Structure 1
Amino acid sequence: MLKQESITDGLTGLRNRRYFDQRISEEVALSRRYKLPLTLMLVDVDHFKKINDTYGHTVGDEVLKKLSQIILSVVRDSDIVARYGGEEIVIITPNTTKEDAGILAERLREKVEQTKVATIATTQEVVQVTISIGVCALSAVITDQEALLEESDQALYLAKKYGRNRVVISNW
């Protein structure tokens, strides 16, 4: 039980950053050794600060919990989902090409967009959110976990820059 708690994010129930850091290095090593594809997705809730400022942190927490449930319902059992920090969630998709990860990311984006993530108790106002996703795969250029994370982050930045509620796949 202690081991489980040490690798789990208390709010979302997802794996935590410590677990992610360990697993990404393991997955990169496996991928390189056996020449298997490996893709990383970085997911960010659009305008999350506005949600917290408008509805309060309790609603913000509910949004993160619901988002986590949605992600877990869409990804495969073999995928590794972890809370990266704040409202960012990272998904490691072993043995997955960048193209297939892009399809998965788009399916996830659409499901989140269509889902009611919270309801304000006093007003019955429905809270819906959108997400932006940056996708990157190991390649001849992206050869280690640092580059994979950095390039996924750059793709996420472009998704936000170009209007949010979108998936951007790295060219590398």
Structure 2
Amino acid sequence: MWSFANPSLAQQIFLACLFTFLGILLGMWITSRRRSKQEKRRSNQEFNSEAERPIRDDLTGAYNRRHLDKILVEFWNLAEPGHAPFSLLMIDLNHFKKINDRHGRNLGDRVLQSVVQNILNNIRKADMVFRYGGDKFLLLLPMTRGEFAMNLANRLREEFGKLTFHVPNHDTFKADFSIGVIEYRTDFSGVGEMLTKLHEALDRAKKELGKIALAG
């Protein structure tokens, strides 16, 4: 007869085995649930990666120019009523052709990838980085005034300047970039004029290599 008040040795052994077995089952169930969640998360990430492939630059992972054209129109339409201002940064590497010629295209590609990683490390989740073409990148900052955009531009240059690139012969070099900055204004005729003025600001910045210029 079973006695809970004073269990026999056999009953104690049975209970110990039972609880051990139940513990193993619980552990297996928890592990299975965790693995299922991880696999689901991995599957979702792979799906999102595949879904975004047409709008991403293959080399850097930044959004591509085609996606930029679409997104800029959307932001422009939102900003026109004056409810959603935004700013743009255009980033252009200095002497990038010399880097490619001297150190090879593979290392040049690493520099481009580092530019994007540097940007991603210093922006908000809502901000978007695009590869504009070649060694130029455009950063879109929603709900952002020019003053904040200028502060971010300074931080991006400062952080990128800390990087050192290594070449196979054990030499090292540093790279830098110039930045044009512009804030949306209601007197712009459209996206085209805003980009034109942004290019002009970038040109001014590049005349003094490694500088930042705010569009007037």
**CA distance, structure 2, for counterparts of residue 126 and residue 38 of structure 1:** 38
* 1:97 partnered with 2:145: yes
Identify which of structures 1 and 2 has the higher relative contact order when contacts are C-alpha pairs closer than 8 Å and 6+ apart. 1
Q: Which whole-Å deviations, capped at 9, do the CAs of 1:9-39 have from their partners, x for residues lacking one?
A: 0000111111111111111111223433211
How many residue pairs get matched? 168
Deviation, 1:3, is 3.1
**CA distance, structure 2, for counterparts of residue 71 and residue 143 of structure 1:** 29
* 1:170 partnered with 2:210: no
Q: Report the identity percentage.
A: 33
Q: Secondary structure at the match of 1:81?
A: strand
Other-structure match for 2:102: 54
* 1:120 partnered with 2:167: yes
Structure 1 gaps of 5+ residues are: none
Tell me, yes or no, if the aligned pair for 2:82 and 2:186 is still in contact at 8 Å.
Answer: no
Tell me, yes or no, if the aligned pair for 2:86 and 2:184 is still in contact at 8 Å.
Answer: yes
* 1:40 partnered with 2:88: yes
Other-structure match for 2:11: none
Structure 2 gaps of 5+ residues are: 1-46
**CA distance, structure 2, for counterparts of residue 3 and residue 105 of structure 1:** 31
Counterpart AA for 2:180: G
Q: Which residue of 138, 143, 146 corresponds with 2:184?
A: 138
- Give the alignment's Cα RMSD to 1 decimal: 1.3
Q: Which residue of 58, 66, 87 corresponds with 2:135?
A: 87
Q: Which has the higher strand share?
A: 1
**CA distance, structure 1, for counterparts of residue 65 and residue 186 of structure 2:** 27
Tell me, yes or no, if the aligned pair for 1:109 and 1:167 is still in contact at 8 Å.
Answer: no
* 1:147 partnered with 2:193: yes
The structure having more radius of gyration, on CA atoms, is: 2
Counterpart AA for 2:166: T
Q: Structure 2 length as normaliser, TM-score?
A: 0.74
Q: Which has the higher helix share?
A: 2
Q: Structure 1 length as normaliser, TM-score?
A: 0.93
Other-structure match for 2:77: 29
**CA distance, structure 1, for counterparts of residue 85 and residue 67 of structure 2:** 21
